Structure 1
Amino acid sequence: MNPTPCVAGLGSGSLRPPRSGQAISVTCAKVEMERRVEVSIGETATISCFFNILPAVMEWFMTRKAGHRERIYRIESHRSVAELGTDFTDRISVRHTNRSVILTINNVKLTDEGEFAFPAVPPEFPITETITVGVHVNQQKPSKIATCETRNGYPEPNITWYRNNTPLRRSDQVMIVPLVILESSGLYTVQSELHLRVAKEDKDATFYCEVSFFLPKATKMIESKPFSIPVSYPTTKIEVWKEYPEGLVKEGDTVKIRCRGDGQPQPILTITHMDEEVRSDEMGLLVLENVNRTNSGIYVCRSLDWEAGEEIEGNTSLEVHYLNSTVLDPTDHEFILGQDVEIFCSASSSLETTIKWFKDGKNVSNENRLYLADITYDMAGEYICEVTVPLLPELQTSTSFPLIIHGPPQMIDPDADAVLETKVGTSVNLTCEAQGMPLPTITWSVTGTRTRYEVVDENLVRSSVNIRVTSDLTASCNATNDRGMDAKSFSIKAKNGVIIAVIIICILLLAILGSVLYFLYKKGKLACGRSAKKDITKEKGHKDDIVTEMKTDKTEETVLLQGVNGDKQPNDKIQLCFYNPISLEEVRKTLQAPKPIATTALNIGD
């Protein structure tokens, strides 16, 4: 490795021989160095170098005009030695202070012209080795904790130890052992051992070494990687806490309890519960799986300090919360129709609970008491009592209460489909639903062909029959049990399709007849008035002949249909007198009146 020198020139700057009496200047490129020194031949020349930190080893070299380089002076460990056999051996001296080195050349000659060099080589990055076994705080003498080494530097580097960024100085607590090795290359390897009487606080301390060395124009520093040391100290306090879960503990959970002392290394720990030792691992971790209320209580962790002969302990409390099964009072589930029912639900717990009642998924009560007044069959069914712990919603229990109501049969919708109309020849379905306890038996009273089927549900009986209708009829169903009976009737009216068709045809014929007469009136072939009446004479009269007289006055229109019954008259007449036109709608209204209708054939003459 080539040194990086601080160079001083002695001469006129061009290395030409000076004339007698000519001034000789000495120039150095070092920081804080005299820029120029003027001397004459035969006089004394001084070259001063100033340092921030004085190097441990210093050497001066002189390079002549021909390029020959030789060492002329060496300073090491406060020893100053001039190299023997040189032209400067009897004429130079070096003195130094804390911050400077002064080279003095007496009786300057012409041949002294040349370059003077002070070499400097930066060392390698420092390497530290630390102990792996803990150092006990009770040791009376400093113990070796680390070694710092830097290689191949020039001049000799300096090593300083630091703890938490504070330099360590030699004392009763600190001992530093240096080692300097001069390599064959002329470079230095420096080692430093740090011995320390540790304290408990050193377990959290950060240590490193700093290498300082000289370079031209500056003093440089290199810091090693920081490190910490293992420190052993006795246990003075034990902490015990529930590590998992973070919140409340309920039955069925897995619980982890941690025990730890403040000593290093960790002491041997034992954990007891109710004066019985429980198993834990080497790190003081106790795992309890599927805990129940018997795991509640105080857990004590103990450690024996063998040096002091004292037992140290710590403890923590564990509470496992629980919720017991629900209890109903009374337990009887069967009641009489119309009775008042009062049921109480409860469940003991280590925490406060809330109680709700449900039926068919709907909330029916928010207290432990379920009260049902004047119960009906609709109130029968399954009621659910649900108990929950608000602080631990996972703690929940429930029980069912099947309410059974005894009583006589009751028909469901007794008036539904009581009266039915259907065509002759069709079939109808009749259904009866009855509830009661015991479940009733349904029987039918009906005439005609029928098919029966029955469905029995949990709370009611549904029975249906299929009947073919041939005429008007009445059907009934009866529901009975050992507590009473109930019945429901059906009235079925049969409709005749032929009669309805005849009535519709008659209405259509009368509508056509009215249209024809109105057409004749508009053509002027029919006149109205007392003197303008026309007689239509039938050749023969019959018992069921009809005389139709249509009249009108100023306030109303009248259509009178009159059937004539009696003796035969040869000259019976049908008189048609039209005072005002009559509409088809008015004819329909007249025909819809509840009067007997007779039909006949009319022969209309001129």
Structure 2
Amino acid sequence: MKREDLLVFWGTESVTALYGETIVIPCNDGAPVPQHLMFVKWKYEKDDGTPGDLLIKQARNEQATVQATDSYAQRVSIDDKFNLLITQASLKDQKTFTCMVVSHANLMEFPVSVLVYSKLNIDTKHYNNLGTCVAAEANPAATITWKKNGKALVDDGKAIVITPSLKLDPATGLSTTSSTLQYAATKEDVGAVFACVSTHRLTSQETELEPFPIHYPSEKVSLQVMSKGPVVEGDNVTLKCHADGNPPPSSFYFHLKGEKMLVQNSDTYTLNAISREAAGEYKCSLADNEKVEASQNILVSYLDLSLSPTGKVLKTVGDSLSVKMEKIASGDATVLWTKNGKAVKEPEFSKLSYADAGIFVCEVSLTGLTRHQSFELVVEGKPVITSLTEHSTGDAQHKVLTCEAEGVPEPSFQWSVNNTNEESSYINGKATHKITVIPRLNMTITCTVSNKLGEDVMTINVSSVFEEKNGKSGKNPQDDSKDQAKLIVGVVVGLLFAAAVVGLVYWLYIKNSRQGSWKTGEKEVGTSEESKKLEENNHTV
């Protein structure tokens, strides 16, 4: 190869690497190598300006030969695209590295300058009204600025003081930048967000500080009644006094209906079993400044209910009953009456009936309060039969008698005839009793009902089932009564007729007897005494 055949091209490129990582330096910006390549060689410029060899790779040899004898001997390698690889990048690697490409026709060199940057390592901390932001081991050095609620803070030497600092590590050449913010906070800064902004050639990071306490004295207090709903008489009511200072005060005065109570290490005071008389204005104030106070008016809900009568009330049917309900409430109360669980109007009883009996409940309600009173009304009375009926069964062999009555307590039934298949019911003072009978003769049947207060009786005429079967069932009970009357009259007339016949026979007998004692045309024989006895006997007859 002749000297004049060599063509040399110089082009300067640059790559950026991160501190501590692997530097990748492309040869000819990654372009394909020329045909008839002989070898590729990487070299660099030493600190004293002299060249130094790193490695060489033959075209036909897969393995590269490391020529470096300094720290690069263990750190350099080459990949299949002829890129130079340098591990564990440091600031000392900020040099110019040259890729020399040799072919049969040409010799080309491609220099590349390397810049090594470090990642930002941001740390923030704060105490009191001071905040510190640190950007450690950076290259090039980072700059730090401060923001409050997104707006830049400027050092004014009074309320805002910013103190920067820069340190260089001679071993690594990395810089550590720090900045301290001193801020005179006011009450308006509560909740403000402070942040430091670290700016680097490669990146910019904004880091918020944790909120720091801002101290200021209390200017206002508020009094709160800790109750989920209306305050009801008998409740325990807790009062809480809150101040806007930071830190909040630990002692308060509670003004309770003319009485002042000092509470230390707490901001609450509890009123136990509050009464209606305790309603009114309450106050709390700062223990060190009683002029800073707050007040709250407490309303106490109460409800009293009085009902007359109560309990079990025993009355007689037809009596009257006066019901009185009185309520005392802190507001408009709602009254609801129920009888046996169903809503009714307020009860009024001028003349009691059995239907009036039941359990009456009066419910009076106010927001958060409910009161109940009740009475059980029992209406008693001796039983009264309301109906007594009979009807025949389908087979015409039996008759069913039904006796209905009203009475409390429950009455008992008694029949004047033997019976079967008794059925009874008792609902709301109404009693029903059914029996089954087989009347073989026309008869009068009596139903008697009784309880501890008295009894009632009713009769019914029942015809014989045999007469009805023989077609005589057309007679009603009144016809049977007429037939019985006719029979009685007939018997009496028969007896009178028989008596008249007996009298006539006796008279004829006496007459015949006299005719036998005196003969016609004969003179009576006998003494005067016999004649006299005979006349007496005749008169006696």
Flag the 1:487–1:397 CA change in 2: closer, same or farther, 3 A.
Answer: farther
2:295 counterpart of 1:315: yes
Separation in structure 1 between the aligned mates of residue 376 and residue 130 of structure 2, nearest angstrom = 80
The 8 Å contact of residues 133 and 178 in structure 2, kept in 1 or not, is answered as: yes
Q: Pairwise mapping of residues 57-206 of structure 1 onto structure 2 (< 5 A)? A: 67-69=45-47, 121-131=117-127, 135=128, 145-171=130-156, 172-183=158-169, 184-206=171-193
SS of 1:224's partner is strand
SS at the partner of 2:199?
strand
Cα contact 2:411–2:451 (8 A) shared by 1: yes
Residue aligned with 2:201, SS: strand
Alignment match of 1:477 (pick from 423, 434, 447): 447
- Partner SS for 2:205: strand
The whole-number CA distance in structure 1 between the counterparts of 2:201 and 2:306 is: 87
Show CA shifts across 1:309-342 (max 9, x none): 5553323233232222332379995666445555
Q: How does 1:358-373 map to 2 (within 5 A)?
A: 358-365=338-345, 369-373=346-350
Cα distance in 1 for residues equivalent to 2:13 and 2:414 = 137
Identity of counterpart residues, as a percentage? 21
Contact 1:296 1:319 in 2 (8 A): yes
Q: Is residue 335 of structure 2 the alignment partner of residue 355 of structure 1?
A: yes
Residue 321 of structure 1 contacts residue 350 of structure 1 at CA under 8 Å; is this kept in 2? yes
Q: Secondary structure at the match of 1:496?
A: helix
Rate the CA distance shift 1:120–1:70 in 2: closer, same or farther, 3 A: farther
Q: Which amino acid aligns with 1:434?
A: E
Residue deviations 1:478-520 (CA, integer Å, cap 9, x gap): 446898754333343332399669xxxxxxxxxxxxxxxxxxx
Q: Indicate the residue corresponding to 1:574 in structure 2.
A: none
CA contact (8 A) 1:425 1:470 kept: no
Change (3 A) 1:148 1:445: closer
Structure 2 residue identity aligned to 1:128: T
Distance 1:300 1:223 in 2: 48
Distance between the aligned counterparts of 1:164 and 1:258, measured in 2?
Answer: 33
Q: Between Structure 1 and Structure 2, which shows a larger proportion of helix residues?
A: 2
One-letter code aligned to 1:385: C
Q: Secondary structure at 1:326's aligned position in 2?
A: strand
What SS does structure 2 have at the residue aligned with 1:386? strand
The structure-2 alpha-carbon separation of the partners of 1:120 and 1:417, relative to structure 1 and needing over 3 Å to count, comes to same
Question: What's the offset of the Cα at 1:419?
Answer: 5.2
Q: Which moved more, 1:442-451 or 1:268-277?
A: 442-451
1:241 and 2:210 correspond: no
| Structure 1 residue ranges without an equivalent (≥5) | 1-12, 16-25, 31-64, 72-113, 136-143, 502-606
- Counterpart in 2 of 1:258? 240
> Could you tell me how far 1:208 is from its partner in structure 2?
1.1
Residue pairs, 1:405-484, within 5 angstroms: 405=379, 409-411=383-385, 414-418=386-390, 431-435=403-407, 439=409, 444=414, 446-448=416-418, 459=429, 469-479=439-449
* Structure-2 change in CA distance of 1:287 and 1:377 (3 Å): same
Q: CA deviation at 1:370?
A: 2.9
CA shift in 2, pair 1:283/1:386, >3 Å? same
Alpha-carbon deviations, 1:34-71, whole Å to 9, x = none?
Answer: xxxxxxxxxxxxxxxxxxxxxxxxxxxxxxx9623469
| Shift of residue 158, structure 1, vs aligned partner | 1.7
Q: From the superposition, tell whether residues 295 and 165 of structure 1 become closer, same or farther in structure 2 (CA, over 3 Å).
A: same
Question: Which residue in the other structure is 2:355 paired with?
Answer: 378
1:118 deviates by 10
Residues 421, 494 of structure 1: 8 Å contact kept: no
Whether the 8 Å contact between 2:442 and 2:464 is mirrored in structure 1 is yes
The two structures have a TM-score, normalised by structure 2, of: 0.56
Amino acid of the residue matched to residue 144 of structure 2? Answer: I
Assess if the C-alpha contact under 8 Å between 1:128 and 1:146 holds in 2.
yes
Q: 1:274 aligns with which of 240, 252, 257?
A: 257
CA contact (8 A) 2:425 2:433 kept: yes
Matches of 1:482 and 1:197, distance apart in 2: 98
Conserved 8 A contact 1:408-1:480: yes
Q: What is the aligned partner in structure 1 of residue 372 from structure 2?
A: 398
